[in-house]
Amino acid sequence: MEQGADFDLFCNVLNILPTGQYHKLFGLFDETGEGYIDMKSVLLGLFNFVEVSRDDKVDLIFHLFDEDRSGFLSEDEILEILKATHMQTEDAVTAKMSTLMKQVKNPDRTLTLEEFQTIVKKFPNIIFPPNVKPQSDN
Q: Is residue 29 one of the residues assigned to a domain?
A: yes
* Of 81, 66, 77, 53, residue with least CA distance to 113: 66
pLDDT at 32: 80
The pLDDT confidence band at residue 135, using thresholds 50, 70 and 90, is very low
**Residue 15 lies inside a defined structural domain of this protein:** yes
Asked if residue 94 and residue 27 are part of one domain, the reply reads no
Question: What whole-number distance in Å separates Cα of residue 18 and Cα of residue 9?
Answer: 10
CATH no. for residue 62?
1.10.238.10
Q: Which of 6-20, 43-57, 71-85, 107-121 has the lowest mean pLDDT?
A: 43-57
Domain of 92, in residue numbers: 48-127
Q: Which helix (H) or strand (E) holds 91?
A: helix 90-101
- Whether residue 135 lies inside any domain: the answer is no
User: Strand pairing partners for 135?
Assistant: 53
Measured CA to CA, the distance from residue 70 to residue 119 in angstroms comes to 19
Cα dihedral value 95, 61, 34, 31, nearest 10: -20
Is 75 inside a domain boundary? yes
Are both 52 and 101 inside the same structural domain? yes
| Mean pLDDT of all residues in 32-53 | 78
